[in-house]
Structure formats: C-alpha cells, structure tokens
Structure 1
C-alpha cells in the first residue's frame, strides 16, 4: 500500500522506537499527524502494517465501536516474530461483545463506587505507612518505593492475596515491570503466573469473597471458565490494576515538580483534587496506544481501511488535540471540561477507572498532609516503551511537616 504524503511524515517511523518515546519526541510527530495525516499508514516491517489515528474524535469513535474495531486479535502492536497475543479471546481486554460483557459482569461488583469507597480507609493507611517509610529513608525512588505500592496492595486485597504474601508479589511485580534484563523480567512474570496458579487451585477447594474466587466459580454461557481463562484474567487484573496507576502517579509527581505553582495551589485548595487527578491522567496518558482489528471495510478521512487491517489509536495524541482541549500543552489542574481518553471509552472503558481515580486522589491528599516538600535529587529516568508512558525511576527526598 503506497500513499503520497509530505516528506516530514518519515518521522512517523520513530513512533515504533521505544527510545524516541522516552525523549518526549512523539508529541511533535503526533501534532504534525493531527494536522496533516490523521489516518496514516505504516508499512509492514518489524511490526505488521497498521493505520495510526491521532485525533481525539477518531480515537473516541474507534474506542466506542467494538463491532467494527475488534479487540479479540490483540490490543497492542506486537513484533511479527512474537506471533498472536495468547490472551486473544480469553481476557477482558481481548474479547468482544457479548463475551466481553459476560466476563466483565463477573468482576464488576468489586469496582463499583460503593466497593471503592469501602476501600478508602485502607488506602489512606497504606499511603501513610509508605510515605512515613520514605521520609525515614531520606532519599528514595518515588516510582518503586512509593507510587507502586498502593495500587499493588489494593488489587492484591481485591484478588484475595493474603497480607503475608503481598510483599512477595510486590517484589515479583517490581522485577516483571522494570527495565533491564529481559530474562529477569520473564522469570519474575513466570513466578507471578505460578503464584496465581496455586491461588486458583486453593480457591477451587475453598472459595472466598474475592476476584479469583469469582473467576473460578462463575459460568459464562453455562460453562465454567477454563484454567487458562482464569490465569490470563488474573494476570490482566494484576497488570491493569497496578501498572497504569503507578505510571500516572509517578509521572504526575514529576509534573508537579516541574510546575511547583500547581502543587502549592493544590495544597491550598484540596477541592481541586478531583480535577487535578483528571489533569494528571490526561497529561500523563500512561497507556500510549491501543490497537484494534477492523472487521469490515471503513473509510476515515477519505482513507479506505480494509477488513482485517490493524488500527492503532494514540491516546496521548488524542489527549493533546487542539480541536478539543484549550492550551493542551499546559498542565492545568483546574481544567474544565476535561473529557480525556486516558482510561479509554466505550465497551472497553477501564473497569478500574473509579478505583484508579480514588487511589490517585487519596495518594496526593495524604502526601500533601504528610510532607512539607518533595525534592527531586537526580534525573528522572523515563520508561523506554511504545506501549506505556511514564517513569522508570524518580529519585526524591521527602521532608516531613
């Protein structure tokens, strides 16, 4: 497939370079694409050929149309050599209606407003303990030592992981999500899957009031979920329930460090916390892209997209679209309206969206209560990835009030 486009579009190839994302460079490319080539074709290479969508309205429309834009064949760009996503058709994220709706209904009760509010007290206790430990240590890594702990402890609690075993999962998750040796990450992920295999069998014998038990005992279309389905959904819940909040909170802290006036404004007026959380979500856009596979021919901005072709929507680009957001490159904690797409839209809107927002609101509220200052003590190290955006490390020193 050959398209005639301006020469500057050659820079779009950088969108598949993890190091380019770590520099913040994609925002300039996305801005150009929104104006000149909002539906751009990437030739096959390391990745299969696919279309890039960068405008808010297009990203939202694709996200809301699960019939034409399917999730079942994978939602992330994968190198050709990696083959198909093993979660396809099995997990919440990689299924289409009606199976997606059936799977979602199995666990939805744990993520309602009522359920999340019941967890808020435990969240505050966790944040206080984590921040107190960080203050005592003098200098720490904000990403691993602070931001990563709250979401992991919360999702472990929901999944029925005993408190005595949560630190083990925290250690394994830190290795599995970290940069560095691929073999170390792979080994840690295998150990996580083995842990949930053991927990799954325990819940088969003795069900409890938790997410793993819900997956083990529930039926879809009159049949119990397979063991593979249970394990893949456990993995999906762990990653979804921890990774995005960890990235958003740590990148949000970096944004506040870069904009100290916003931090002091929030300190002076806690009523801004809900809108501040929304702006952090928009600003950080921790999920970089989502892929869909087209199920029938469709035309977007005059471009013919054929059945079976892939479409990647770039969420950070949509959340900086000048057609929707006034002064999109300004970090404004009082921004209204702020209908960002950081948590998706449509059938696949983030199941844990309410939980993530509450965790972030509680986190920043408790941090403001506990510390007089947060001082960055070294350069932030960004994640090198085309899948997620955020920080690998953020060295800081917290000073208690």
Structure 2
C-alpha cells in the first residue's frame, strides 16, 4: 500500500533542470506516487506529457511495446527541435520487429560469455586509469576514472584504434558535459564525422569488431545505409559510456557518504554483485525515459490518447515503497533488488551485462589494491532532466598497499 505523505502537495515541475542539481526531486516523486501516480504535466518549453512514477506502472508500460512506441523518441525535447533524427533507425529508437533485427546484429557481443571474455581487457583498462589517478594524487572521479573506463572499453569493442581513444574522450566530454550548447553541438558533429570515416574504412576492410558488423550488415537482404550505421555507432558509444560513467561516480559518492557500506565491502568483496545492483538502483542515472502512445489505453482511470507522450521516472520507480523496503536507505546487501535502472522488456539495456561487469571490476580493483579514497572538495550534480548524478567528484587517492 502507498501511505499518504505527511507533507502537503509540493509544486510539481519535473522538467526544471535545477531541481536535479540543487533541489529534491524525490519530494515531488514521493507525493506523486502516493497521490497522482499518472500525472498530466502541463507544457513548458517542452510539450505536455503523462508522468508515471510507480514501479508497477513503469514496468507494465515498459513491457507493452505495442502501445508505447520508442520510434518517436525516448527523451523529452522541445517541439521546435523537430523529430529525433535517430527515430526508427537506431537500437534505442525502434520498435519490433526492426528493433529485434538491429539488436540481433550485435547481441552476441554483449552476452554473458562474450563479456566474460573481455574481462581481462577491462581489468587492464581499469588499472591503467587507476594508476594515472594515483600518480596525480587528486582527481575528478567522474572525468578521470568513471568516464574513462567504459569509454575505453566500448572503443575497444567498436574497433576504434587505441590512439584515438583520448580524442573521443575529449569529444564526448564536450558533447555530453555541461557547457556551451554550441560547443556541445560541434563536438557531437565531430563524433558523427569520426564514425562516418570509421564505418567507411571498416566496410572496405572489416575486422572483428562492432563497427565492422554494422558496416557489413544486411536486414532482410538490404544493407544498412551509411547514415544508419553512423547513428547506431553513436548510439552504441553513448549507450556504452554515459550511464555507466554516472553510475560509477554516483556509486562512489554513495560509498563515501556511507563509509560503513564501503567498510563492509572491503571486508567482504563477495558482496560486490549485490553492491553493484544497489548502486544501479540508488543512482538510477536515466532520470526519465519517454514513449509515445500509438493506441489509446486507460491507466488508473486516465485516458491516454494516440500521440500522447508518456514518461517513466526511473529514480521514482526505484524508490517505490510498495516494492523496496526502506527505499531511501543505501544497502549493499539489499535482496531482492528488482530495480528498473537498466530498463525492462523489449528495450532492456543491451549493455546490462557489460555495465555490471565494468562497475564490479572497477570497484574490485580499488578494493584489491587497498586504495584509500577521500573527498577532496565539494561534489556538484548534473543540471539535467535526462541523466542525474555527479558532474564533478573531487577525490584524493592514496595507495596503502602494494597491488
């Protein structure tokens, strides 16, 4: 049962980016879960939309791909920006059967057996990044550790030469970090241009990597167009880095804020798998996911019409009191932990096994090497309605034992 909150109705504005950097969105989500779990959010500079905040409603909608389409976009965007260019063309922005066909091209690379085969390389990457941070003594855990591990790993899988990894790191930092919108736009165009050249090279001389698979793939006898290949490369790069980066940094911040949990993990590294699941639940880095209704449906007495935008607020679903005991407590021993941080249904995260492995390996190497980590300043949070978590996490790393 959802208990009535003691506080009065807060002002509801889920699309204020400042809410996620300087406010308390959980106050609004808590009230909505208890009182208006299917909430019509009036238009702002963004179109109006329905907001789902309860776990079961989000899970059910995720599973119903025949009603809730991804092809019109999966994030809220101003109407003047037009349609998402990846709509109907990329893994994230397609519906069945096209989604299954695209996913089938690369699924094997992200399966458990394949990811296990990559673990030695992931461990090497993690240790290289940790060594660089240790040499500096102080660093930004977000940019210098959490961002580099998943980026270097996915670049390796995509066949990006190691000499280009740092170049792509700089471009992705500009494209997806805070800063001037024009700088972000030009950096994103540079990323697309990079993959335009790479896919052409791989089409001419394919090798054993993800870009080669896409560059030589056909669906129903028709090769993927160069534009579709570039869009899907961009999708793989972003999907393979952004949320893992924020989850790794947010998890580190949570462990620093709850030293008893870090101590428990240090004493029993066998808790790492459940710790990773709790970090995923706790951080819930994708703030919202959007679907578009393609047929009418009733949810708790509310009529959702064709064309309506419906948003899933994942941090809210993952703190639902009816599913998680003491949901506002960070507990690395939490079981069961059926969070929705990696999606559900048709669009369950392609890289879920990879993301879990990267988080586990990174934290395991920090623990194995007995590296002491302390805050070295004040963290800041992202000002965004798309992803949430640390933007800047200053830390001091000290090697207290030989690796």
TM-score interval for Structure 1 and Structure 2 normalised by the shorter chain: over 0.9
Do the aligned partners of 1:131 and 1:370 also contact (CA within 8 Å) in 2? no
Listed as ranges, the matches of 1:57-68 within 5 Å are 57-68=56-67
TM-score by length of 2: 0.96
Counterpart residue number, 2:267:
268
Structure 1 CA distance, aligned partners of 2:59 and 2:357? 24
Count of residue correspondences: 394
Structure 2 CA distance, aligned partners of 1:83 and 1:10? 32
Listed as ranges, the matches of 1:198-237 within 5 Å are 198-237=197-236
Counterpart residue number, 1:329:
328
Cα deviation, 1:109-162, whole Å, max 9, x if unaligned, reads: 110111100111111111111111111101111000111111001100111001
Ranges of 4+ aligned residues in structure 1 off by more than 2 Å: 7-10
Counterpart residue number, 1:12:
12
Cα deviation, 1:162-207, whole Å, max 9, x if unaligned, reads: 1111111112111212111112211211111111000011011111
Report how far residue 10 of structure 1 moved.
6.4
Structure 1 residues not aligned, in runs of 5+: 1-6
Cα deviation, 1:277-330, whole Å, max 9, x if unaligned, reads: 000000000001100011111111111111111100100000000000000000
Do the aligned partners of 2:10 and 2:28 also contact (CA within 8 Å) in 1? no
Cα deviation, 1:360-386, whole Å, max 9, x if unaligned, reads: 000000011224411101110101000
Cα deviation, 1:81-133, whole Å, max 9, x if unaligned, reads: 21111110000010000000000000111101111001111111111111111
Counterpart residue number, 2:375:
376
Do the aligned partners of 1:250 and 1:394 also contact (CA within 8 Å) in 2? yes
How has the CA–CA distance of structure 1 residues 9 and 71 changed in structure 2, closer, same or farther, with 3 Å as cutoff? farther
Counterpart residue number, 1:153:
152
Report how far residue 392 of structure 1 moved.
1.0
SS at match of 2:33: helix
Listed as ranges, the matches of 1:1-80 within 5 Å are 11-13=11-13, 15-80=14-79
Counterpart residue number, 1:3:
none
Structure 2 CA distance, aligned partners of 1:271 and 1:130? 23
Counterpart residue number, 1:311:
310
SS at match of 1:140: strand
Report how far residue 258 of structure 1 moved.
0.3
Cα deviation, 1:245-293, whole Å, max 9, x if unaligned, reads: 1000000000001000000100000110000000000000000110001
Counterpart residue number, 1:167:
166
TM-score by length of 1: 0.96
Listed as ranges, the matches of 1:41-190 within 5 Å are 41-190=40-189
Counterpart residue number, 2:3:
none
Do the aligned partners of 1:128 and 1:370 also contact (CA within 8 Å) in 2? no
SS at match of 1:343: coil
Do the aligned partners of 2:10 and 2:27 also contact (CA within 8 Å) in 1? no
